[in-house]
Amino acid sequence: MPLNFQKMHANGDDFVIVDSRNAANPITSAVARRMGDRSRGIGFNQLAVLLDCDDADARVLFWNADGTALDVCGSATRGAADVLMRESNVTSITLRTNRGLLTCERTATGEISVDMGQPLFGWRDIPLARELDTAVLPLAGGPAACSMGNPHCTYFVDNLATMDIAAIGAAIETNELFPLKTNVHFVQILKRNHIRLRIWERGAGIALGSGSCSCGAAVNGIRRGLLDSCVEVECDGGSVTVRWDGVGPVFLSGPVEMSFCGRVT
């Protein structure tokens, strides 16, 4: 059957929204993989499916382009929130995800801000293959790990230009330490409130941006005492703002834009 979709992006981090409210969920792993193929399908980093929900404005399920499911995507969450807020002419909504209830707001500048929930640091929560100190992993370069509903591994480096993002990212994504694979970040600290971030995204490769990766990178820098509680995260495609007080939820703010709408069979 044909599916209507909306293609959006957040600083170049592209995603597709399929609205299946009042209908059965049409997305399977195979369908997501076919739609995510940039040569034969639509192409995206993530797919978000909107479904009916009793305790929120909508339930959102997420898929990677390789057909694997994930619990949360910061960019696609902001895109779904933008679509629903425009539809209802409101400035705040709540979305139900596998990460929990996420409150989304439109800021005075038109950006979308999302309460991404509390980061997790336990080795089982990330998860890791065995019990380890997640602040400094026993890997070359001593990265830190956390979960924002999906696993993140953060390297802090002096010069991003010297890093082979593709080679290191691919190797760490599939390292035996991460049974569910992991996103990999490479962070150069410009100031305590400003970082330059490059991303190897689990299931997608090098990405222009990623909301959850921006959160994970900032959180790992804050917990190590390297960053302030409010950080501008400058990715290849543009910047977002991450705020975390070291205790409570992480707040992600940034722009989203519509690319095009269409129908796929």
Q: Dump pLDDT digits (tens) for 11-30.
A: 999 999 999 999 999 999 99
What per-residue confidence (pLDDT) applies to 204? 83
Read off the pTM: 0.93
User: CATH assignment of 144-253?
Assistant: 3.10.310.10
Residues of the chain under the 70 pLDDT cut = 1
25-51 b/e (C-beta count within 10 Å ≥ 16 → b): eebeeebbbebbeeeebbebbbbbbbb
Q: Which CATH topology does 3-107 take?
A: Diaminopimelate Epimerase; Chain A, domain 1 (3.10.310)
Q: Where in the chain is the domain with CATH 3.10.310.10?
A: 3-107, 144-253
What per-residue confidence (pLDDT) applies to 120? 97
21 close to 50: Cβ distance less than 8 angstroms:
yes
What per-residue confidence (pLDDT) applies to 2? 83
What per-residue confidence (pLDDT) applies to 161? 95
HEC per residue, 21-52: CCCCCCCCHHHHHHHHCCCCCCCCCEEEEEEC
